[in-house]
Amino acid sequence: MVTPPRRVIAKQLGELLMERKVITSDQLHEGLKVQQSKGGLLGQILVSLGYATEEAIAQALTAQYGFPYLPLKHYTIEGELIRLIPENVARQYCLVAVDRIGDTLTVAMADPLNSNAVEDIEMLTHCSVQIFVSTMSDVAETIRQHYGENHG
* Residues sharing a CB contact under 8 Å with residue 66, sequence separation 6 or more, in sequence order: none
Residue 5 pLDDT class (50, 70, 90 cuts):
very low
The stretch 81-85 carries a mean pLDDT of 92
The whole-angstrom separation of Cα 24 and Cα 26 is 5
What pLDDT does 2 receive? Answer: 46
**What is the C-alpha R_g of the chain?**
16
Q: Which residues pair with 96 in a beta bridge?
A: 108
> Could you read off the pLDDT of 107-132 as tens digits, one per residue?
999 888 788 899 999 999 999 999 99
Percent of the chain with pLDDT over 70: 90
Q: Which residues pair with 108 in a beta bridge?
A: 96, 132
The domains found in the chain, sorted by start residue, are: 5-65 (no CATH), 79-147 (3.30.300.160)
Q: In what order do the strands lie in the sheet with 95-101?
A: 95-101, 104-109, 128-133
What pLDDT does 23 receive? Answer: 96
Residue 10 pLDDT class (50, 70, 90 cuts):
low
pLDDT averaged over every residue in the chain: 86
The whole-angstrom separation of Cα 44 and Cα 52 is 9
3-state secondary structure of 146: helix
* Residues sharing a CB contact under 8 Å with residue 57, sequence separation 6 or more, in sequence order: 13, 17, 22, 43, 46, 47, 135
Residue 74 pLDDT class (50, 70, 90 cuts):
confident
pTM for the whole structure = 0.74
What pLDDT does 150 receive? Answer: 54
